[in-house]
Amino acid sequence: MIKTHILGYPRIGAQRELKFALERHWRGEIDEQALEAVAAELRARHWADQRAAGLDFVGVGDFAFYDQVADHVLLFGCAPARFGFTGAETPLQQLFTLARGVATEAHDDCGCGHASHGKPALEMTKWFDTNYHYLVPEFDAATRFALAPDRLLDQVAQARTLGHAVKVTLVGPLSFLWLGKAKDGADRLALLDALLPVYCDLLARLKAAGAEWVQLDEPILGLDLPGDWSLAFERAYHLLHGAGVPLLLATYFSPLQENLSLACKLPVAGLHVDGVRAPEELRPVADWLPDHKVLSVGIVDGRNIWRADLDACLERLRPVLERRAGAVWLAPSCSLLHVPFTLAHDAALDAELRTWLAGAREKLNELRILKQVLTGGERAVAMDLAAARAALAARRASPRVARPDVAAALAALPPDADRRAAPFAQRQAVQRARFDLPAFPTTTIGSFPQTPAIRAARAAWRRGELADAGYDTAMRAEIAHAVRVQEELGLDVLVHGEAERNDMVEYFGEQLDGFAFSANGWVQSYGSRCVKPPVLYGDVARPAPMTVAWTAYAQSLTARPMKGMLTGPVTILQWSFVRDDQPRALTCAQIALAIRAEVCDLERAGIGIVQIDEPALREGLPLRRASRDAYLDWAGRAFRIAASGVADATQIHTHMCYAEFNDILPAIAALDADVITIETSRSDMELLAGFGAFAYPNEIGPGVYDIHSPRVPATSDMVRLLRKASAVVPADRLWVNPDCGLKTRAWPETEAALRNMVAAARLLRDEAGGGTVQAA
């Protein structure tokens, strides 16, 4: 028997209805009841989609007002004591307090995807290797669990009333604990014994409420788990098994490897595996999983937007079906949360491209077609199959995709194209002689405030109401203003301010061949926030310079060095939906080549310093340790290809933020950027200790203040941080800068903060006495 199901569906709504309702609610414009009504309507609509595609169950539990992990915190009654919930709050009030903190306007984003910090909301972090952010449960020795199932049971009841067969989706107990953060040295795993009875209770309640299956997501089975964690699985699932509702253990994102036999052995009714990320494990799982268990194969890619190659899917499924005597469930590889709702009618994509793509809704249809074919109903879907084959053939043959000129340019790159001509020490000497910067040189990360006026000008220009010339004049005025302010403040290395950029990836993608942009391809990032990743569909090429005119104009206004500002190849790759018909490494190398050309053009235009931002370098790291070196190799090479086309006297900066970098320091050093500016201020320079211990060889600008808060940092705070930094990094290699771009800030606080920052740098210079120039 073949069944179809999904692990989860996008909840934000085809027109982002949930986002807008949430934001109205937070502004006090609609009450909880009205918000709940929107949610109920969305769920009903999404279940109807699933039903229409012939799925055997609809999913309940994948809906969340903010985040599914936060829902589990309330479901298990383990909100941290510091929130001081008394029970007088409504569940929604509690949820939004966990998510947004108690201060109003807790959210403030710089484009890196994170909310502001220092507010008492739960921390956010990325869900495995996706761009979705979950709220991190906090555990401590006092953590207790108490089931609060009503909201979930209401949703089951809603689905049942609508006549649906229900499979409830939950995060499994081990993954839930793993994803949390233990405070005061508490041991997360030690909480398992207290948590399991609550899960058992919940499972029993779900069964009584009519759930036919419960899916327990344990994606941590795809990680390199410590022994005590993998051991705990058996104990946990023996207990859960007792609740009597059929359990589907769901794994995804990463191969099971050494956990494969464990996953097959656990006392559950079914196992879901990711046949897209780990196709090589389909056979062994089909062999190892006892015959009485259901094998659910994640066959349609839940992480990307390409229309499935149905023939290849069928080919992959056939031996599995044979081995399992025909009893297999088909599903997307993971929750469809990570793809847009639909791309089938997107107004901004051309008709041909649209036929190459599949959003969540189209993926449901792919499951329907596969099931039909495998159950002997191929005739009924002959037209669908033909359309899918034609689209795929067109994509394969398209001159928009494969460009011989790009392949030739890559092939022509000499093997040492990813190496600067001279080693760092020599470059440093040449650059110091050229720029003659003071000790503790000051700079910023690139962007200055994106004011309402800038946004309005861009919107008008995009609507066609402002002509190119008018837009150009407006942006030049902003650049001139930014340059004037920086000169007045006494910064040493200036930037043009990125007024003309909407987004650090989109700005480049829009000017590169091989990228397309949807009008409505939104994917939830966190809470009500959505991102619209570019679609990287073809070989990447740069038809014309992208930043040179703006940067050269900025340089023409000042005698100080103007830093050119580019987004790096790894970050552009990481924040796009990338093609699945060639390795990511190759796509990344193509982007690198385009950025390299831009770097060289900037140099030719007289720009002596170029920054290549790679905030997403860390997040591309594979979940499995064994795959990390290979990734760091090609990612690092891509960065260096972009950076290494210039003379020794040209100074290359890079910038990174929002991640734990200490575990990849050798790879960061291997980028061989002359200067790295890095976010450190929120962890009070802890990160820098890693740089010190590792003896990072090049120059470093540790962020000396947190740009995510409008608070103006005191000079003394920054002096203190810089002293701390000088203790671990030789002072003559330190730069002074904020920890990220300033685009989300307003001008008054920006000027005040930078004024204090420059004062801090001067103070340190004076203290160092004599050493007023970066020692050559």
- Known binding residue 126? Answer is yes
Nearer to Zn ion among residue 67 and residue 739 (C-beta) = 739
Name which position in 74, 646, 657, 676 contacts Zn ion (CB under 5 A). Answer: 657
- Known binding residue 662? Answer is no
CA-based nearest residue to 386, from 398, 371, 373, 399: 373
Minimum CB distance to ligand GLN, residue 701 (Å): 13
Maximum distance among all Cα pairs of the chain, rounded to whole angstroms: 85
- Known binding residue 378? Answer is no
Q: How far apart are CA 600 and CA 592, in angstroms?
A: 12
Q: How many CB atoms lie within 10 A of CB 706?
A: 19
Site string for ligand GLN, 458-477 (x = CB under 6 A): --------------------
Name which position in 215, 355, 447, 450 contacts ligand GLN (CB under 6 A). Answer: 447
Chain-centre distance for alpha carbon 175 = 19
Q: How far apart are CA 37 and CA 20, in angstroms?
A: 13
Backbone dihedral angles phi then psi of residue 87, each to the nearest 5 degrees: 95, -10
Nearer to ligand GLN among residue 156 and residue 656 (C-beta) = 656
The entry of ligand GLN, Zn ion, none near residue 25 (CB within 5 to 8 angstroms by kind) is none
Asked if 596 is part of the footprint of ligand GLN (rule: CB under 6 A), the reply reads no
Site for ligand GLN in 72-131 (CB under 6 A): 111-112
| Residue carrying structure tokens 């150009």 | 472
- Known binding residue 296? Answer is no
Asked if 703 is part of the footprint of ligand GLN (rule: CB under 6 A), the reply reads no
By beta carbon distance, the residue nearest ligand GLN is 741
Asked if 603 is part of the footprint of ligand GLN (rule: CB under 6 A), the reply reads no
Minimum CB distance to ligand GLN, residue 744 (Å): 9
Q: How far apart are CA 599 and CA 593, in angstroms?
A: 10
- Using CA atoms, how far residue 413 sits from 47, 62, 566, in Å, is 52, 47, 21
Q: How far apart are CA 454 and CA 491, in angstroms?
A: 23
Asked if 359 is part of the footprint of ligand GLN (rule: CB under 6 A), the reply reads no
CA-based nearest residue to 706, from 99, 114, 101: 114
The entry of ligand GLN, Zn ion, none near residue 232 (CB within 5 to 8 angstroms by kind) is none
Nearer to ligand GLN among residue 288 and residue 553 (C-beta) = 553
Q: What is the DSSP letter of 607?
A: -
Site string for ligand GLN, 726-745 (x = CB under 6 A): --------------xx-x--
Nearer to ligand GLN among residue 447 and residue 518 (C-beta) = 447
| Residue carrying structure tokens 């062999």 | 287
Nearer to ligand GLN among residue 335 and residue 611 (C-beta) = 611
Q: How far apart are CA 619 and CA 656, in angstroms?
A: 11
Nearer to Zn ion among residue 118 and residue 242 (C-beta) = 118
* Site size with ligand GLN, rule: CB under 6 A: 15
Nearer to ligand GLN among residue 367 and residue 554 (C-beta) = 554
The entry of ligand GLN, Zn ion, none near residue 230 (CB within 5 to 8 angstroms by kind) is none
Asked if 740 is part of the footprint of Zn ion (rule: CB under 5 A), the reply reads yes
- Known binding residue 163? Answer is no
State the angle between helix axes of 32-52 and 17-26 in degrees (0 to 180), rounded to the nearest 10. Answer: 170
Nearer to Zn ion among residue 615 and residue 636 (C-beta) = 615
Question: Which of the ranges 151-159, 365-373, 440-448, 518-526 carries the binding residues for ligand GLN, by CB under 6 A?
Answer: 440-448
Asked if 607 is part of the footprint of ligand GLN (rule: CB under 6 A), the reply reads no
| Residue carrying structure tokens 């909880």 | 32
- Using CA atoms, how far residue 741 sits from 205, 315, 696, in Å, is 49, 48, 23
Minimum CB distance to Zn ion, residue 345 (Å): 35
Site string for Zn ion, 573-602 (x = CB under 5 A): ------------------------------
For residue 42, give the 3-state DSSP assignment: helix
Minimum CB distance to ligand GLN, residue 681 (Å): 14
Element at 247 (helix H, strand E):
strand 247-250
Burial class (CB in 10 A: 0-12, 13-18, 19+), 482: buried
Q: How far apart are CA 751 and CA 486, in angstroms?
A: 9
Name which position in 445, 572, 632, 759 contacts ligand GLN (CB under 6 A). Answer: 445
Name which position in 615, 636, 713, 738 contacts ligand GLN (CB under 6 A). Answer: 615
The entry of ligand GLN, Zn ion, none near residue 113 (CB within 5 to 8 angstroms by kind) is none
Asked if 271 is part of the footprint of Zn ion (rule: CB under 5 A), the reply reads no
Minimum CB distance to Zn ion, residue 116 (Å): 14
For residue 284, give the 3-state DSSP assignment: helix
Asked if 753 is part of the footprint of Zn ion (rule: CB under 5 A), the reply reads no
Element at 524 (helix H, strand E):
strand 523-526
176: which 2 tokens? 């839930």
Beta-strand pair 2-4/328-332: parallel
The entry of Zn ion, ligand GLN, none near residue 708 (CB within 5 to 8 angstroms by kind) is none
* Site size with Zn ion, rule: CB under 5 A: 3
Burial class (CB in 10 A: 0-12, 13-18, 19+), 27: exposed
Q: What is the dihedral of CA 288, 290, 293, 295, to 10 degrees?
A: 20
Q: How many CB atoms lie within 10 A of CB 186?
A: 16
**668 CB contacts (<8 Å, ≥6 apart)?**
617, 656, 661, 676, 696
The entry of ligand GLN, Zn ion, none near residue 111 (CB within 5 to 8 angstroms by kind) is ligand GLN
Chain-centre distance for alpha carbon 700 = 25
Name which position in 115, 504, 729, 754 contacts ligand GLN (CB under 6 A). Answer: 504
Handedness of CA 498, 499, 504, 506 (dihedral sign): negative
Site string for Zn ion, 610-629 (x = CB under 5 A): -----x--------------
**What is the CA angle 176-177-182, rounded to 5?**
135
| Residue carrying structure tokens 């500002």 | 565
Residues that are catalytic: 708
- Using CA atoms, how far residue 360 sits from 25, 298, 337, 485, in Å, is 27, 14, 8, 47
For residue 708, give the 3-state DSSP assignment: coil
- Partners of 578 in the β-ladder: 536
Nearer to Zn ion among residue 523 and residue 657 (C-beta) = 657
- Known binding residue 498? Answer is yes
- Known binding residue 628? Answer is no
Minimum CB distance to Zn ion, residue 698 (Å): 18
Minimum CB distance to ligand GLN, residue 565 (Å): 5
Nearer to Zn ion among residue 547 and residue 654 (C-beta) = 654
CA-based nearest residue to 75, from 187, 155, 185: 155
Site for ligand GLN in 655-674 (CB under 6 A): 655, 657
- Known binding residue 112? Answer is no
**What is the CA angle 124-174-182, rounded to 5?**
50
The entry of Zn ion, ligand GLN, none near residue 504 (CB within 5 to 8 angstroms by kind) is ligand GLN
Beta-strand pair 133-135/124-126: antiparallel
The entry of ligand GLN, Zn ion, none near residue 270 (CB within 5 to 8 angstroms by kind) is none
Nearer to ligand GLN among residue 271 and residue 657 (C-beta) = 657
- Partners of 497 in the β-ladder: 447
Known binding-site positions for L-methionine:
445-447, 498, 613
- Per CB under 6 A, residues contacting ligand GLN are 111-112, 445-447, 498, 504, 565, 613, 615, 655, 657, 740-741, 743
Known binding-site positions:
16-19, 126, 131, 445-447, 498, 529-530, 575, 613, 619, 655, 657, 679, 740
Known binding-site positions for Zn(2+):
655, 657, 679, 740
- Per CB under 5 A, residues contacting Zn ion are 615, 657, 740
Known binding-site positions for 5-methyltetrahydropteroyltri-L-glutamate:
16-19, 126, 131, 529-530, 575, 619
Known binding-site positions for L-homocysteine:
445-447, 498, 613
